[in-house]
A = this chain, B = another copy of it.
Amino acid sequence: MARFPGQDGSDGDAPARFRKEPDPRFWRMNRSLPFDWQLAPYDILQSQAHARALARIGVMTEAEAEEIGAGLERVQARIETPGFAFEESDEDIHMAIERLLGEEIGALAGKLHTGRSRNDQVATDIAMVVNAASRRAMRLCGEAMERLLALAETHRDWPMPGYTHLQRAQPVYLGHHLLAYFWMLSRDVRRFAFAAGSSSVMPLGSGALAGVNWPIDRDIVAAELGFAATTPNSLDGTSNRDFVIDYLSAAATCSMHLSRLGSELVIWSSTEFGFVELDEAFSSGSSIMPQKKNPDSAELLRAKSPRVAAALQTLLGVMHALPLTYGKDMQEDKEPLWDAIDTVDSSLEATAGILEDIAFDRQALEEASGDEMLAATEVADLLVRQGIPFREAHGIVGELVRDAIAGDGTLSGLSREQIAARSDALTGAGGEEYYEVLQRGSWLESKRIAGGTGSEPLTAQIAAAHAALDAVRDAAGA
């Protein structure tokens, strides 16, 4: 086990200040290579830019910087070679790359580590990871939004019951329901964009904590690595992981949205609801019950949200009460981040996949939406139009509902006399309006207010969704 490679031309030695090797029990906890190897491509890009920066200020020659850059290319190629394995003595990816570079180009490798510390190096790597993940999530949200919008358009006039408290409440169009998820994801795009912004500030140059002794032009390095700015304070630069938290916050909210979609798909897939059937390619069977076709993909969408929320919680917990600047505790930032990125990516991809071949059952939805009780508010509003305060109208219709339940279960099954017994207003002037308002078609179209389920506002909403999707594509592509 090694602390720093190449200090005396050999690798694998303890640093000069130390005489003892790390204890295996310490090494097991301390070694981050099993997870931070994923930083390799970012670390190498960063090191190449750093070498060029050192050359610009004369710490090495241009030729040396080029040799280092080429050596790092070869290191990258080696790491990517199937069968490549790190050494058990490599502590982390930074030390591992340093060792490999030493093997490629000899002692010159040691020059790269001027004016830089692992503290600002790792912060910079992780910012790059977060930035890439945020942009990818924006794109994947966009792809799921695209599927939702397409489905909404093809199902724009399919009535279904809208629910509150999982009780049928008022009918809506399925297209309208699907767009609710579209807008959730559109907000997630803004959250991931926020994380992309907060991860676009480069810590490199902060050194261990105080800045470095070399007059490196950080703006040039930042521009080369795709950062928009540099951190204004070296202490904060090395002890800040806000950008990881920003990503995890976005990821947690996005996963929560997908869990709601998953939950509805599970419920709608039940025999009792029967509203939807997932494609076989997104379903599983049972090892014992031959008839089963389970909506496993929807259940997994639902189930992933707590683990992402826990990743967020972990990092908030790790940073809690931590004195400045870098503490080893901050090594715990990576595994929750990796896990959340992988979960969000795969969940969004699965969402798009599930929605590709999903089959809604128009008849089941329409029958359920035809439940006449859903028109109760319509009847109340009819009374309001005749001058009765809504709260009083609500009470009258409540009585009618009781009468209906006591009778054949329908509001239209009530006789004129029964209706009149509750309110004259409903039977005045022939009283046809009462029965007319119970004709189901009208209940949806009456919701003409902006954002409502009526066809007119729904058409406007779809147009707005197209514009929003275009904006997401632009932002994700940027």
Contacts and interface: CB of A to CB of B under 8 A. Distances in A.
Interface stretch (A69-77, A128-136, A210-218, A413-421): A210-218
Interface string A254-269: 0010011011101101
Given A118-B288, A165-B326, A288-B117, A179 B398 contact: no
A235 B162 contact: yes
A432 interface: no
A321 B207 contact: no
A172 interface: yes
A471 interface: no
Contacts of A94: 287
A447 B339 CA distance: 37
A299 interface: yes
Nearest to A404: B291
15 contacts: A17-B292, A17-B399, A169-B286, A170-B209, A170-B289, A179-B235, A194-B194, A207-B288, A218-B449, A260-B320, A303-B327, A305-B321, A307-B335, A310-B336, A312-B312
A21, A176, A191, A452: which has the most chain B beta carbons within 10 Å?
A452
A475 interface: no
A98 interface: yes
A286 B295 CA distance: 32
Interface string A267-304: 10111111000011111111111111111110110111
A373 interface: yes
B117 A287 contact: yes
B288 A208 contact: yes
Copy number of this protein in the oligomer?
4
A331 B218 contact: no
A297 B94 CA distance: 19
Nearest to A116: B288
B290 A389 contact: no
Contacts of A310: 310-311, 313-314, 317, 336
A396 interface: yes
A16 interface: yes
A341 interface: no
Interface size range of chain A in the complex: 35 or more
B114 A397 contact: no
Contacts of A177: 235, 324
A287 B213 contact: no
A158 interface: no
A381 interface: yes
A260 B180 contact: no
Interface in A146-195: 162-172, 176-177, 179-180, 182-184, 187, 190-191, 194
Contacts of A113: 287-288, 389-391, 394
A336 to B, nearest CB: 7
Contact of A260 (B190, B273, B302, B324): B324
Nearest to A450: B218
B16 A167 contact: no
Given A327-B164, A332-B303, A464 B232 contact: yes
A400 B16 CA distance: 9
B313 A452 contact: no
A427 B318 CA distance: 45
Contact of A349 (B25, B184, B263): B25
Nearest to A9: B392
Contacts of A319: 256, 260
B23 A294 contact: no
A243 B355 CA distance: 27
Contacts of A400: 290
B353 A328 contact: no
Contacts of A280: 18-20
A6 interface: yes
A48 interface: no
B390 A114 contact: yes
Given A15-B395, A209-B162, A321-B262, A242 B184 contact: yes
A79 interface: no
Contacts of A110: 389-392
Given A281-B20, A310-B310, A452-B211, A347 B290 contact: no
Interface string A67-96: 000000000000000000000000000110
